[in-house]
């Protein structure tokens, strides 16, 4: 696959899914860790910006892989889809980790104003002017495309933390600012994992040999990286909170409020649901202190507009794109119960909580099954994937 565009509508995402389905088995397993560079990638789907907003769902992705390749050949692809659900569940059970990240980020950003050496090193890294060729190239790619290969993200985070000695929160914030698939759980916890904070004492070290091998020789930063760093110290994991219960869909007509975390309401609500009014909000600018890149905002708004248009056609109901401040008047105008897809920990959940409205939050069966199992590390969660598949029985789109 050489198409380097990223789907912002469901139709585009379904087309990409169909095109990549033949490579979800052995090709993905063999090539997923290799990044030959923009325009040459064939073994990663480039679907993450669409999955992030559920323009296509995890059920559809896994269903397509299993339908095409069977459980053994599709194992690696299926596991990667479940990684996203594991991260979501892990943070949903420990929301204080997101709050702690935001607080530490505020302190680290304040230090930029008073520490000239830190500010200079940070600005050089952001500008891709460190002199480390691979890192600088990846910074340019991040700015220009709003996306990085997953293995590259690990290398960038490791170089940022251990070679450049920059605060991990500033790197995580930079990713959220630029990534089209930026996600509170996956981004925050992946940076913590690289640093050695997510699995205490176990960190990810970028090594020149690994980079040379998995970029097919495009880069070889031999002698430029700290390849023997210590992991960052980390406090113990916080106690797990019970997963808050979801709400039931009430009988009778409802109003549906969409947002960027789940844009396939046609599969969220049961057949026969009566949606009499529709609205959508999006607050990508609340990702972090500096908001988000223009390309990220454009992607989010296009995805939300697509979800709203599909929902309006599906239920034949009036649909409006609203500013959050307009939602209370919209709700009062129709007087219906307002239901909304469950927004996981992050900026959208914070925006919904700030509306001051009684919202009925609906959670997918996928999340209901996966999230409560994210109590330990990923490997115990991975062992439960066969049971989860048996329970969820995912099918590809249109099946």
Residue 397 pLDDT > 50, yes or no?
yes
Percent over 70 (pLDDT), the chain: 99
Domain, as residue range, for 89 = 10-93+370-392
**Mean per-residue pLDDT for 237-262?**
95
Residue 222 lies in a domain: no
For residues 263 and 306, give the distance between their C-alpha atoms in angstroms, rounded to a whole number. Answer: 8
Is there a single domain that holds both residue 346 and residue 294? yes
* Sheet-wide strand order for 319-321: 319-321, 275-280, 254-258, 338-341, 359-362
Is there a single domain that holds both residue 102 and residue 198? yes
Is there a single domain that holds both residue 46 and residue 26? yes
- pLDDT digits 0-9 by tens, 146-185: 999 999 999 999 999 999 999 999 999 999 999 999 999 9
- With vertex at residue 388, the alpha carbon angle to CA 339 and CA 147, rounded to the nearest 5 degrees, is 70
- pLDDT digits 0-9 by tens, 72-95: 999 999 999 999 999 999 999 999
Is there a single domain that holds both residue 344 and residue 383? no
| Bridge partners, 321 (sequence order) | 280
Two structure tokens written together for 235: 């406090």
Q: What pLDDT is attached to residue 235?
A: 83
Is there a single domain that holds both residue 62 and residue 101? no
Is there a single domain that holds both residue 174 and residue 207? yes
SS3 state of residue 225: coil
Residue 248 lies in a domain: no
Residue 3 pLDDT > 70, yes or no?
no
Residue 246 lies in a domain: no
Is there a single domain that holds both residue 120 and residue 140? yes
Two structure tokens written together for 277: 């009014």
Two structure tokens written together for 189: 């916890």
**Mean per-residue pLDDT for 43-67?**
97
Q: Do the Cβ atoms of 150 and 41 come closer than 8 Å?
A: no
**Mean per-residue pLDDT for 102-109?**
98
Unique residue bearing structure tokens 């690696």: 76
Residue 230 lies in a domain: no
Is there a single domain that holds both residue 88 and residue 113? no
Q: Where are the alpha helices (DSSP H) in the chain?
A: 10-20, 26-31, 48-52, 58-73, 75-93, 96-114, 116-127, 133-145, 150-158, 168-178, 184-195, 208-214, 265-268, 294-315, 327-334, 347-353, 365-370, 378-383, 385-392
- pLDDT digits 0-9 by tens, 328-355: 999 999 999 999 999 999 999 999 999 9
Residue 221 lies in a domain: no
Q: What pLDDT is attached to residue 362?
A: 98
**Mean per-residue pLDDT for 189-217?**
96
Q: What pLDDT is attached to residue 78?
A: 98
Residue 385 lies in a domain: yes
CATH code of the domain containing 116: 1.10.579.10
Residue 265 lies in a domain: yes
Is there a single domain that holds both residue 73 and residue 59? yes
Q: What is the pTM of this model?
A: 0.97
Residue 37 pLDDT > 90, yes or no?
yes
Residue 1 pLDDT > 70, yes or no?
no
Percent over 90 (pLDDT), the chain: 96
Chosen domain end from 214, 240, 263: 214
Residue 276 pLDDT > 90, yes or no?
yes
Residue 2 pLDDT > 90, yes or no?
no
For residues 287 and 290, give the distance between their C-alpha atoms in angstroms, rounded to a whole number. Answer: 8
């Amino acid at each position: 696959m050489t198409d380097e565009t990223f789907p912002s509508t469901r139709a585009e995402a379904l087309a990409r899914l169909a095109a990549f389905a033949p490579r979800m088995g052995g090709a993905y397993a063999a090539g997923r860790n290799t990044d030959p560079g923009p325009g040459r990638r064939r073994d990663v789907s480039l679907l993450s910006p669409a999955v992030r907003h559920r323009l296509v769902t995890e059920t559809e992705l896994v269903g397509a892989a299993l339908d095409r390749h069977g459980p053994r050949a599709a194992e690696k692809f299926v596991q990667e889809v479940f990684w996203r659900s594991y991260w979501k569940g892990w943070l949903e059970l420990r929301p204080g980790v997101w709050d702690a990240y935001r607080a530490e980020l505020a302190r680290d950003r304040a230090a930029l104003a008073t520490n000239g050496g830190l500010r200079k090193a940070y600005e050089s890294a952001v500008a891709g002017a460190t002199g480390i060729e691979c890192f600088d190239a990846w910074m340019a790619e991040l700015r220009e495309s709003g996306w990085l290969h997953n293995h590259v993200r690990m290398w960038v985070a490791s170089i940022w933390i251990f070679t450049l000695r920059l605060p991990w929160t500033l790197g995580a914030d930079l990713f959220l600012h630029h990534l089209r698939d930026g996600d509170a759980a996956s981004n925050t916890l992946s940076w913590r994992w690289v640093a050695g904070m997510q699995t205490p004492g176990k960190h990810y070290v970028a090594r020149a040999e690994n980079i040379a091998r998995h970029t097919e020789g495009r880069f070889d930063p031999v002698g430029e990286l700290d390849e023997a760093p210590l992991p960052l110290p980390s406090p113990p994991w916080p106690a797990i909170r019970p997963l808050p219960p979801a709400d039931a869909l009430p009988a009778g007509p409802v109003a549906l409020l969409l947002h960027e975390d789940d844009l396939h309401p046609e599969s969220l609500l049961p057949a026969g649901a009566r949606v009499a009014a529709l609205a959508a909000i999006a607050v990508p600018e609340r990702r972090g202190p500096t908001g988000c890149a223009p390309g990220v905002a454009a992607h989010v708004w296009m995805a939300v507009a697509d979800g709203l248009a599909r929902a309006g056609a599906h239920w034949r109901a009036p649909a409006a794109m609203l500013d959050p401040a307009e939602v209370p008047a919209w709700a009062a105008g129709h007087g219906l119960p307002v239901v909304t897809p469950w927004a996981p920990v992050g900026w959208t959940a914070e925006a919904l909580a700030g509306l001051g409205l009684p919202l009925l939050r609906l959670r997918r069966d996928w999340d209901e099954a996966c999230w409560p199992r994210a109590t330990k590390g990923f490997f115990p969660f991975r062992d439960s994937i066969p049971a989860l598949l048996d329970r969820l029985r995912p099918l590809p789109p249109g099946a």
